[in-house]
Structure 1
Amino acid sequence: MLFSPGGAVFKLADSLRSIKDQCPLLTLIIRAKKNCVGYFQAETPYGKRPVGRPAKYGEKVKLLELFDQSDLFLKVRCSVYGKIEDISITSLDLLWKPTGSLIRFVLAVTSRGPIVLMCSDLNQNPITAIELYCARVRIETMFDMLKNLMGVFRYRFWTKRLARHSRKPVKNRNLKKPARTDIETIKRCHRAYERFVMTGAIALGLLQLISLKFEQSIWSYYAGFLRTKSRDLPSERTVKSVMEVLLSRDLISFAPGAVMRKIIQGCCNKKAVFEEVDSLPELEEPGI
């Protein structure tokens, strides 16, 4: 995640716990700021207890200064942004003042320089934490494709039984609850949101699968212009542009029923496109 971590985020992650397994259901892994500090737990004094509230925070630790102590780090092999390399890594659990609780800090030195991660789970494997953080690029790329290519977040499902709220609501003020008789209708509306998004995610997966299995065929069908190919494997956008033309050709080959005529008039009203794709060969299976 790219934003600065806050104590409220970690408290929320810690509140979602499994009663059966007694473990958190959500693990938060965030990159720490350069000036982030932690604290050891205060030592319990022996003998007579001093007057006043007992100390909670002990010695202060500036995390970036720990990189100067090479004896704390171990050499391991790890996948960093898709490449296997040798890194130096260590971890320690320290108190963090915004949460008032222990946070697992993972420190690593990779080919890209030193990095400090904060984990809400005290049992998190340090190597796994680094690999999960590096995998965030794939997640961000997937959301970019879902939003800008597939349009899965442009749903327009609505019901008048949903309570109206301000676009800039004030926290914990003027909250409106739906009537009990409207709850089932609102649940169906929410399920429609989820199904629309999941259908788009499945369609994106199919584009990726077609790109892997029909790489040469997709490039032979592609009628666009690319100044320079960034890779041999066609992107999801390239596959989509090819499949749109192929599916349009198949669409007009159906029997011209009333429903099909409406679809063709609304979506496929350009005859030039179909005349162009009629001359294209059939999509063939890749050789083994």
Structure 2
Amino acid sequence: MAAMAAELVSVVGKRCIIVLDAYFAVGPVFLILRQILDDSGNHLLHIVTRAKSNVVGYQDPPPKTGRPGRPRKYGLKLNLMDLFETMAESFEQTTIEIYGQYEEVSFLCLDLIWKPIKEKIRFVLVRDGSECFILMCSDLTLSAQDIIRAYSYRFKIEVSFKVLKHLIGVFFYRFWTSAWPRIGKQNVSDLSAAGDPRSRRLIRQTTNAIEAFVNFGCIATGILQIVSLNFHETIWKKYLGWLRTVTSTIPSEEVVKSVIQEEYYHNFRFFSNSAIYRIIMSKSRKRTVDAMLLAA
């Protein structure tokens, strides 16, 4: 993920911020992203992520005393989760607009040295009601409010993944080839084992099929969203389901898909000139007269 983001930013050439979950709150990810620089030596890619519950930071090392021995690299060690109690009086109150609604949260912003990269990271301790969590950001110039707001966008990402996975089914592909080397307990498949041209061709075709399937699913999701935004009144009129609470005038992707499926089912014969009709009919079973009589 980090390598892919770094490659993308290198092509775009503009300053970007990538928002990730706590799984990526590890040193190697930060180190990979810090290697992307512009012509002036400034970092092009920064990361905002949720820290793990056992994260610790270090204050600046004390000044050199002139005594023999190696100077200290780190200062006082801080267990950040403990600061919600020990430094509760230092938290600031702020109101942040998230998804068009204003929410009041309290936060504490600290720039501390993080051992995995041996450099400073901006930690933002956030208390939202009864929930307490810590955010990390590699950009020391980004304000705490912007860091909180940026991480809140992850909710939209999770909803998009839910639609892609459960509604469209873009990750339910069934493309495989026996030419693909076995991974076993490794994390990366060694494609160098596929030396003959036929195996490489089969692997390439399988990979292209998987990517095409996922991309078509993303396109289908975008079409549902466009239909929802432009024809929301028509969708609601034709929707035959029941919702306990309607929270928006814009129907969800699930509602739009339900209406389209119902309309297509009842008007299937009217689409006889479309490509999808010909594909469906070519895949359907051909029933003979004798088979129909036997069934009767």
Q: TM-score normalised to the size of structure 2?
A: 0.70
Q: Which residue of 1 aligns with 2:58?
A: 39
2:265 is aligned with 1:245 = no
Partners of 2:31 and 2:117 within 8 A in 1:
no
> Match for 2:28 among 2, 6, 11?
11
Give the deviation of 1:155 after TM superposition.
Answer: 1.9
Spell out the pairing of 1:97-246 with structure 2 (5 A cutoff). Answer: 97-111=115-129, 113-166=131-184, 169-170=185-186, 175-177=190-192, 178-179=194-195, 181=197, 186-224=203-241, 226=242, 228-232=244-248, 233-246=250-263
Deviation at 1:204, TM superposition (A): 1.2
CA contact (8 A) 1:37 1:61 kept: yes
How many residue pairs get aligned? The number is: 260
How far has the Cα of 1:110 moved from its partner?
Answer: 3.9
Measured against aligned partners, the alpha-carbon deviations of 1:17-49 in whole angstroms (never above 9, x if no partner) come to 32435425351411441x54311131241334x
- Residues in 2 aligned to 1:88 and 1:134: alpha-carbon distance in whole angstroms: 15
Matches within 5 A, 1:76-91: 76-80=94-98, 82-91=100-109
Partner of 2:73: 56
Change (3 A) 1:200 1:257: closer
Out of 95, 103, 128, the residue aligned to residue 113 of structure 2 is 95
Take 2:141 and 2:214, find their aligned partners in 1: how far apart are those partners? Answer: 33
| Alpha-carbon distance change, 114 to 263 in structure 1, aligned in 2, over 3 angstroms | closer
Q: Give the match for residue 285 of structure 1.
A: none
Counterpart of 2:49 in structure 1 is 29
1:143-187 C-alpha deviation (Å, 9 max, x unpaired): 011001101012223345432333xx1458x94523384656644
Letter aligned with residue 42 of structure 1: P
Asked if the contact 2:221–2:253 (Cα under 8 Å) also holds between the matched residues in 1, the reply is: yes
> How far apart are residue 111 of structure 1 and its match?
4.5
3-state secondary structure, aligned to 1:41? coil
Alpha-carbon distance, 1:92 to partner: 2.1
User: Who is 2:11 aligned against?
Assistant: none
- For residues 212-264 of structure 1, the C-alpha deviation after alignment (integer angstroms, 9 at most, x for no partner) is 3322322322233x262343543211211110232345542245799956623
Tell me the TM-score normalised to structure 1 length: 0.72
Report deviation, 1:103. 2.2
RMSD: 3.7
Read off the aligned partner of 1:58 and give its amino acid letter: G
Letter in 2 for 1:133: Y
Task: Give the structure 2 partner of residue 283 of structure 1.
Answer: none
Q: Determine the C-alpha separation between the residues in 2 that align with 1:82 and 1:72.
A: 28
For 2:50 and 2:97, locate their aligned partners in 1 and report how far apart those are by CA, in whole Å. 18
Between the aligned partners of 1:10 and 1:227, the Cα distance in structure 2 is: 46
Listed as ranges, the gaps of 5+ residues in structure 1 are: 270-288
AA partner of residue 245 (structure 2): K
- The Cα of 1:10 is off from its aligned counterpart by 3.0
In the alignment, the residues of structure 2 paired with residue 70 and residue 257 of structure 1 have an alpha-carbon distance, to the nearest angstrom, of 65
Unaligned stretches of 5+ residues in structure 2? 1-19, 287-296
From the superposition, tell whether residues 137 and 61 of structure 1 become closer, same or farther in structure 2 (CA, over 3 Å): same
Distance 1:201 1:79 in 2: 29
Write the distance in 2 (CA, Å) between the matches of 1:194 and 1:258.
22
Between the aligned partners of 2:31 and 2:125, the Cα distance in structure 1 is: 22
Q: Residue type matched to 1:148 in 2? A: H
Shift of 1:106: 1.1
Q: Percent identity?
A: 33
User: Structure 1's 108 and 12: CA in aligned 2 closer, same or farther, altered over 3 A?
Assistant: closer
C-alpha displacement of 1:133: 1.6
